[in-house]
Amino acid sequence: MKFNTKGIAFAKQRQLFERMLKPRMVEEKMLILLRQGKISKWFSGIGQEAISVGVTAALNDDEYILPMHRNLGVFTSRNIPLHRLFAQWQGKPSGFTNGRDRSFHFGTQAYKIVGMISHLGPQLGVADGIALGSLLKKQKKVTAVFTGEGGTSEGDFHEAMNIAAVWNLPVLFCIENNGYGLSTPVNEQYRCKNLVDKGLGYGIEAHSIDGNNVLEVYSKVKELCEQMRENPKPVLLEFKTFRMRGHEEASGTKYVPQELLSEWSKKDPIENYQNFLLASKSITDYEIKVLRDQIASEINEELQIANEEEEITLDKNKELRDVYAPYKYEEVSPGATVQNIRFVDAISRGLKQSMQKHDDLVIMGQDIAAYGGVFKVTEGFVQAFGKERVRNTPICESAVVSAAMGLSIQGIKAVVEMQFADFASTGFNPIVNYLAKSHYRWGQPADVVIRMPCGAGVQAGPFHSQTNEAWFTKTPGLKVVYPAFPKDAKGLLATAINDPNPVLFFEHKGLYRSVYQDVPADYYTLPFGKATLVKNGTDVTIVSYGAGVHWALETLEEQLHVAADLIDLRTLVPLDLETIYESVEKTGKLIILQEDSLFGGIASEISAAVMENCFKYLDAPIRRVASLDTPIPFSKVLEDNYLPRDRFKKELLALIAY
């Protein structure tokens, strides 16, 4: 192994050795503690320290790094106190996740590190969003993100690379090619000769680097970062290295040929670099001993601090409270001037006014710029706010949602338009595993609104008609809004954008151009978790949301002589159960109408809650009316049969007659 010190100061050469030695010694200690049962799991990066240390040393301390399991050197090079790392691995209070997540699944704004999640891929898109945030803030910064050779097979890798290329984002994509996934060798993972070959397809500069040579890693990354800060662009780096231990310690390495382990053991990055420094008289054996003693002492002292720390004390209220970032709703009352406009106009004007209020708010989505979106919600926005804030995206929902998370990490609000709510399925992973869990895990809000044009009744078939709110109401950490009227849509959208938590904002496209209302012209807000009483009566309580509210109104207008409390939920998470309880106590009968298919929907949750809390007031069984448990068909006769609007009248009259 050849080490080239050209352009690298003597002090930096010594520092790189010290920074590699420290995570190695920490790991050796952790392996002992693992065998003693004092930590639960360990993913070893022994043999790969040169990559983490070299990359971190080449970046500035205020530039974000998104590491993985085997990048302990990133954390130690950023000088995170060891006792906090030890506490994290033990699930102690002074760790970074309050005992809610383990190992390196955490981030810390103080050290500009954003940890991984087990699903790997989304962090690549998050790096895109962080880098975009730097560009929008006119900052000359690089964002570095790590993945393994196995992770390059995930769709998120390709989506994130493509976005970075199209938007010229200063992202350093670092692939640690260490030979194996869990046990799958590289020849079963990809067919190209080198992973850097993938860069060509995206028009991205790419380099292959000896990942066990810390000087080569440091010098090349430093050179590239200097270029990327001045001329933003993504760069793909493949670090050739090897995983000397199992995927995690319980896996072992029996599946690895012994000759391969022997070959790579001779390429140990620390041993070889140490020998080079000794040979060049840059360090002495005595200095190495002193350094090892100092690190060992630090490890023991910091470990004692972590060991002596009390275990997590359960606070049930705090566990529930921390699912969401704190948000104090600020009411902005509507002005006196109103305009009679359509549902779609209310969404558009509300979004535009929020863009004016939050001058860094970014909107992302397919065809939303010059074209104005398929429903023309953002028509004229490019002229008003520019292409930096109104961004067309490639067809890659997962990476776009992840990029919105990256903007939030940079303190920038984001609105993502799903062209159709159905397409959220291809962005499902980052929505439910990244946005929803981020604040609970390490206190990082996901300040993202995802607009969801949804609903049937327009003969759009199985892939453009779903009302899939139940996918998300089940996920703690998400808020779900589903207005039925233009006035509510505008005010609730403003609140959704103000709220630092992730919000799924459902907009029924069947209402876009069919429902008009007098809507305040000025900016205003409406609270979450407050249902409205659309009609007042004593015979029965009808609960619905979205298009279902209008179906219920149409039914009641058919001279049925039914005096009903008609409740429009407006938001599903948080859900206003108190208004429902009060109405049921008055009427004694409850029917719930939803457009979603019946099984597992919000109607079931409401029914269960009322049964548990208002059973003594009920004079009849609760009725749930919903669409059929089938995909949504295309033909009008089939779609009409699928939807519940005709069945609702029959069920309502049966309930009244009970």
User: Nearest Cα to 155, choosing from 125, 186, 195?
Assistant: 125
State the DSSP H helix or E strand holding residue 534, giving kind and residue range, or none if neither: strand 532-535
Task: Give the Cα separation of 488 and 494 in Å (integer).
Answer: 10
Q: Exactly one of 83, 158, 247, 464 is catalytic; which is it?
A: 464
Name residue 276's amino acid: F
Q: Is the CB of residue 526 less than 8 Å from the CB of residue 491?
A: yes
Prior bond to 81 cis, omega within 30? no
Query: Per residue, what are the HEC states of 401-460?
Result: HHHHHHHHHCCCCEEEECCCHHHHHHHHHHHHHHHCCHHHHHCCCCCEEEEEEECCCCCC
Q: Which residues contact 586 (CB under 8 A, 6 or more apart)?
A: 538, 541, 565
Q: Is the CB of residue 438 less than 8 Å from the CB of residue 406?
A: no
User: Nearest Cα to 169, choosing from 402, 358, 370, 360?
Assistant: 402
Task: Give the Cα separation of 627 and 647 in Å (integer).
Answer: 9
C-alpha distances (whole Å) from 85 to each of 52, 63, 78 are 16, 20, 12
Q: Is the CB of residue 176 less than 8 Å from the CB of residue 147?
A: yes
Cα three-residue angle 52-49-163, rounded to 5 degrees: 30
> What is the bridge-based pairing of β-strands 113-114 and 107-108?
antiparallel
Q: Is 464 annotated as catalytic?
A: yes
Name residue 427's amino acid: G
> What is the bridge-based pairing of β-strands 516-520 and 338-342?
antiparallel
Count Cβ atoms within 10 A of the Cβ of residue 615 and give its class: 0-12 exposed, 13-18 middle, 19 or more buried: exposed
Task: Give the Cα separation of 396 and 154 in Å (integer).
Answer: 13
Cα three-residue angle 76-69-22, rounded to 5 degrees: 25
Q: In what order do the strands lie in the sheet with 414-417?
A: 390-392, 362-365, 414-417, 448-454, 503-508, 479-481, 571-573
User: Nearest Cα to 36, choosing from 305, 243, 249, 252?
Assistant: 249
Q: Up-side HSE of residue 566: CA atoms within 13 Å toward CB?
A: 19
Paired tokens of 402 = 């992840």
Task: Give the Cα separation of 189 and 256 in Å (integer).
Answer: 16
Residues labelled catalytic:
464
